Amino acid sequence: MVADTTYYDALGVKPDASELEIKKAYRKLAITTHPDKNPGDASAHERFQAVGEAYQILSNKELRAAYDKYGKDQAMPNSGFEDPSEFFSMIFGGEAFVDLIGELTLLKDLTHTMEVTMEEEQEQQDIAAQAQEKLNAAIMDKSEEDARLDAAGLTEEEKELHKKKKRGGLTKEQRDKLEAYERERRRKREERVDTLARKLIDRLSVWTETDKGPEVTYAFQEKTRLEVENLKMESFGLEILHAVGATYVQKATSFLKSQKFLGISGFFSRLKDKGTLAKETWNTISTAIDAQQTMEEMAKLEERGGEDWTDEKKAEYERKVTGKILAAAWRGSKFEIQGVLRDVCDKILNDKTVRLEKRVERAHALVLCGNIFQKSATAAADATDTKAHA
């Protein structure tokens, strides 16, 4: 018997739920309650925060034990709760993958962009609210928009500027904010690539800075396998490992071929790389569109209601929407991961300040790591499928 069930109720699990059940429940609810997925819903942020706090307690063995025994007051983390928006990034790997892929910024970037583009809409709502009581007194031969702007007390210059803003979509202020954010985003991305490149060089040096004999190679591979065993247990661990491994192998193989065949084979490898990138771009966009269409379809059914819109039907659509949103979020995150790692690999393989022999050794080490990442992910997935059909 536990002292309190509030956090369990927030995640929709029983007090005896396993760690995996809690993680799955959080993953689903973090997607469906995220403010980005519930525009206009004032309570969405509060629900999202409650889900994040519940998971932070229940995913920590010590905090969960204290919560079960004493209740909420005794389970508060010493450093307080983390920001739910940052905590949400843990759905895809979390801290365990930081040294490999860095911090994912896709959702943070989307959230910031949405906040900036929604500012004009909020301004419109404020103007409408201020003018509501004065509209009846507005001049009748003017348009409704002119009447609203007059009632809001705007000057002719302000009204003209307002109309230009509306015709142009984003305001100059919004465009400036987005451009400034984009410059900062690019700067941080460059820092991320530099940091990951240094960490990757250190990781590979365990092999590249030795005699690279059979025993050293075996030890290097075993060290990598051990790391993979831990990483694949993380949320989306298998998917991330496969994405990382595929990028390592592709970039390293392309580099090695370009050296072996005087650049000719490398040229075709780069063409293949661009083809893969184009395919991933299309998959990312189409998955997002599919999720959006399903959400819109559900919204229409919800609005229409009727006897056919039963609780069972609604639950079925919620599961479908959650799955599609999660798929879209993963596609976007995978696209970001592989894009960053391509730049990281290019940095360590094409650094002309490093002698060619050393860069070739790095490429061979990347292939060794990449193959282990890919094979471990594939083997684990096959094992899961076998158990599911047993």
pLDDT of 121: 52
Q: What is the rounded distance in angstroms from the CA atom of residue 11 to the CA atom of residue 285? A: 30
Higher pLDDT, 93 or 365: 365
Using alpha carbons, list the distances in angstroms from residue 7 to 11, 71, 80, 221. Answer: 7, 10, 16, 42
- In this model, does residue 252 exceed pLDDT 80? yes
Q: How confident is the model at residue 255 (pLDDT cuts 50, 70, 90)?
A: very high
Q: What is the pLDDT of residues 180-209, one digit of tens each?
A: 888 998 999 999 999 999 999 999 999 999
Binned at pLDDT 50, 70 and 90, residue 278 comes out as low
Q: Which of 38-52, 117-131, 224-238, 242-256 has the lowest mean pLDDT?
A: 117-131
Superfamily of domain 5-82: DnaJ domain (1.10.287.110)
* 138: pLDDT strictly greater than 50: no
Residue 241 vs residues 114, 124, 222: alpha-carbon distances, Å? 30, 46, 16
Residues 6+ apart with CB under 8 A from 117: 170, 174, 178
pLDDT of residue 264: 45
> Which token pair is 368?
């060794």
- Record the pTM: 0.62
More confident residue, 161 or 378: 378
Q: Which tokens is 268 given?
A: 């075709």
Produce one character per residue of 265-304: b if its CB has 16 or more CB atoms within 10 Å, e if not.
Answer: bbeebbeebeeeeeebeeebeebbeebeebbeebeeeeee
User: Cβ neighbours of residue 246 under 8 Å, at least 6 residues apart?
Assistant: 338, 370, 374
Sketch the domain layout of the chain as residue ranges: 5-82, 193-388
**Do the Cβ atoms of 257 and 270 come closer than 8 Å?**
no
Residue 370, Cβ density class (10 Å: 0-12 exposed, 13-18 middle, ≥19 buried): buried
Measure the CA–CA gap between 19 and 231, rounded to whole angstroms.
Answer: 16
Query: Mean pLDDT, the chain, as a whole number?
Result: 76
pLDDT confidence of residue 324: 73
Quick one: tokens of 83?
Answer: 């920001």
- Residue-wise pLDDT for 286-308, tens only, equals 666 666 677 677 778 777 887 77
Tokens 């040294």, located at residue: 99
What local confidence, expressed as pLDDT, does residue 312 receive? 82
Taking only the tens place, the pLDDT of each residue in 312-355 is: 887 777 777 766 776 777 788 888 999 999 999 999 999 999 99
Residue at 255: amino acid letter: F
